[in-house]
Amino acid sequence: MILLRDFKYFVKILFSVFFLFFQYLSVFAQNQKVADSLVKIYQKNKLGNSEKLELLRNLSFNEVNNLELSLKYADELIALSKLEKNYLYLHRGYYQKGNKNRLAGDLNNALNAFFRSGEAAIKAKFITGEGVAYMAIADVYSTMRNSDNAEIYYAKSINLLRKTNDSISLASALLNAGDEYSKNKKYNLALKYFEESSIIFDKVDYLIGTAYNLGNIGMVYAKQGNNDLAKVYISKAIQILEKLKDYYAISEYLIYMSDIYLTQNDWITSLSYAKRSLDLAQKYGLKEQISNSNLKISQLYQKAGNHRESFTYYKNYITYRDSVTNLKSVQQMADIRTNYEVSQKQVEVDLLEKDSEIQKLKEKKQQNIIYATAISLFLIVIITIGFYRRYKFVKKTNSIIEEEKNRSNNLLLNILPEETALELKKNGKVQAKKFESVTVLFTDFEGFTHYAEKLPPEKLVESIDYYFSKFDTIMEKYNLEKIKTVGDAYMCAGGLPFPTGDHAYKMTLAALEIARFVNISEELITQNQSHFKIRIGINTGPLVAGVVGIKKFSYDIWGDTVNIASRMESNSEPGKINISEYTYQIIKNDFECEYRGEIEVKNKGMMKMYFVNNPIAQ
């Protein structure tokens, strides 16, 4: 859960968190090991149709590493259920298909599947299934920001689930519906649903649900100006979250408590809550919370007239803010290299225009030669000289044109992959493409902002160029694509523009070589350069790639795979290579990996992470 001073933004983020929370409730029993063991039974293909229905449901539900494979099992379950006219399993098949499409970000197909799931549940006279399907439909509509439809289907879901014994599903529907009403400023309805949901969670002893309900109720009271009640409920939420060790949410709740006391002019208590938030964030390495807490303390000291302390905490806020988000203050000092690379594309465009001007000059010159030839028709010697001069000029001009075209092509290939550059030259635009499996790497320099504040821009770029030039060489060595640099961050990908089967393996080798180079450079760096420590993060999965811009083109990639790769980097440690579960499953037989456990990731929940150490000797 994320607490921010801007209420509109807070509500948006809060909804996303509770949407993910419901997803957790719906998949908490998933187990990839179960799916792996069931595959052996599936491959033998000796079960009858009724037994195979349950097998397919379990395979689709438990397969969490491969969404495409999970969808395949769901489609097979749907087909077999139709053949057997088994509407209960037809409902389950469509529900699994909807869940997997929602996880893949395909909301339209997810919505269609959930509707079909509800229709099948009605035919099977399965009230719980119908209610859960309607809740899933409402969740998708809410994500699409269609509040009217979301509220309608939450109401349908709740009415049906009240007729069942499924307490967790009912409480989840009430929780999500209350969040939708809170987002739409229907505070009385939101409180009613939160309080009922909290009672149900209490009965089944589901503490995380209870804590978030209490926090939600406190937030609504704060928006209504009832700060005393807000403090009571938020404090209760913090107490439960402390037992559950949910430090991310606790740190943000403490900031919100600080805001409440500040509105009551209790500066001392407000400061104590802000400092508690900072201490907690620092203890558990929550970089975004460290930044927010420093900003809040800076503002409090500024209100008290202590400008020296305010400035100290504000500098800390800037440091952590820039390390998390790479805002403009870093870009203005350290993006000179990136601006230079992009500017080369503009040079290429200018050269193309120059080609056109040369061509016009050639045509004009040819006309002049023809006129001169007509005038000098009777002078054989002059005619011969004229043609000879024309021949020499054309040859020289063609040579210039060819040279400029080659230069333009080389500059274009420095900005875009070869296949993309050819498509751009041929069609004048590039069609975005989806890749099913790509490995993305992010790097970030530890302490970059500290050096950026002390060095002049020229020296800073010289140091960054020293590292990035070597990174470029490593990318070329392993046939990987550099995507872009943003400030001190370096981003590259493997498996595009042409799909390959070994992109994760090559990217891991490249990451190890980058880490070794940075480590060695600490001893070899010159006095005119600064040395850094580097964090590296890697993730593998599907994404979309394409070209943006009209004049200054840029090849870029988008998708959840890219976001997770960035989160792997921000959760890494200096000198370490942090990889996701998806990448680990691909390279685990080739590299020594150190399991880090499940770590809280912003907007993603708990994710398994691993440090890559060395290649396994073959």
> What pLDDT shows up at residue 183?
83
For the beta carbon of residue 267, count every other beta carbon within 10 angstroms.
14
Tokens of 382: 């002059």
What whole-number distance in Å separates Cα of residue 18 and Cα of residue 5? 19
> What pLDDT shows up at residue 587?
94
What whole-number distance in Å separates Cα of residue 245 and Cα of residue 237? 12
The residue among 31 and 448 whose pLDDT is bigger is: 448
Residue range 596-604: mean pLDDT, rounded: 85
Mapping DSSP onto H, E and C, the string for 522-566 reads: HHHCCCCCCCCEEEEEEEEEEEEEEEECCCCCEEEEECHHHHHHH
Reported as a pLDDT band with limits 50, 70 and 90, residue 617 is confident
Q: Tell whether the model's pLDDT for residue 451 goes beyond 80.
A: no
**Residue 599: phi, psi to the nearest 5?**
-120, 140
What whole-number distance in Å separates Cα of residue 471 and Cα of residue 488? 12
Reported as a pLDDT band with limits 50, 70 and 90, residue 341 is very low
Share of the chain above pLDDT 90, in %: 29
> What pLDDT shows up at residue 17?
36
Rg (CA), the chain: 31
Whether the CB-CB separation of 254 and 235 falls below 8 Å is answered with: no
Pick from 310-324, 387-401, 536-550: least confident: 387-401
Residue range 484-501: mean pLDDT, rounded: 88
DSSP reduced 3-state for 96: helix
Q: Tell whether the model's pLDDT for residue 330 goes beyond 50.
A: no
- Average confidence score pLDDT of the chain: 79
* Cis-peptide, bond into residue 456, ω within 30° of zero: no
Reported as a pLDDT band with limits 50, 70 and 90, residue 224 is confident
Tell me how long the chain is: 618
Q: Tell whether the model's pLDDT for residue 3 goes beyond 60.
A: no
What whole-number distance in Å separates Cα of residue 234 and Cα of residue 258? 11
Q: How does pLDDT run across 369-428, given as a tens digit for each residue?
A: 777 666 767 677 777 776 667 766 666 666 665 665 555 555 445 555 556 556 555 555
CATH number of the structural domain 428-615: 3.30.70.1230
The residue among 80 and 525 whose pLDDT is bigger is: 80
Q: Where exactly are the structural domains of the chain? A: 266-322, 334-415, 428-615
Q: What pairs with residue 608 in β-bridges?
A: 598
What whole-number distance in Å separates Cα of residue 233 and Cα of residue 191? 12
Ranked by mean pLDDT, the top range of 32-36, 305-309, 525-529 is 305-309
Reported as a pLDDT band with limits 50, 70 and 90, residue 106 is confident
Residue range 44-48: mean pLDDT, rounded: 74
Q: How does pLDDT run across 8-43, given as a tens digit for each residue?
A: 333 333 333 333 333 333 433 455 566 566 667 777
Give the end-to-end CA distance of the chain in Å, rounded to a whole number. 45
Q: Tell whether the model's pLDDT for residue 118 goes beyond 80.
A: yes
Q: Tell whether the model's pLDDT for residue 493 goes beyond 50.
A: yes
What whole-number distance in Å separates Cα of residue 151 and Cα of residue 170? 15
Please count the CA atoms within 13 angstroms of the CA of 292 that sit on its side-chain side.
Answer: 25
Residue range 254-270: mean pLDDT, rounded: 86
Share of the chain above pLDDT 70, in %: 77
Tokens of 349: 């465009």
> What pLDDT shows up at residue 552?
57
> What pLDDT shows up at residue 333?
38
Q: Tell whether the model's pLDDT for residue 212 goes beyond 60.
A: yes
DSSP reduced 3-state for 617: coil
> What pLDDT shows up at residue 553?
63
Q: Tell whether the model's pLDDT for residue 554 goes beyond 50.
A: yes
Pick from 187-191, 366-370, 498-502, 511-515: least confident: 366-370
> What pLDDT shows up at residue 208?
80
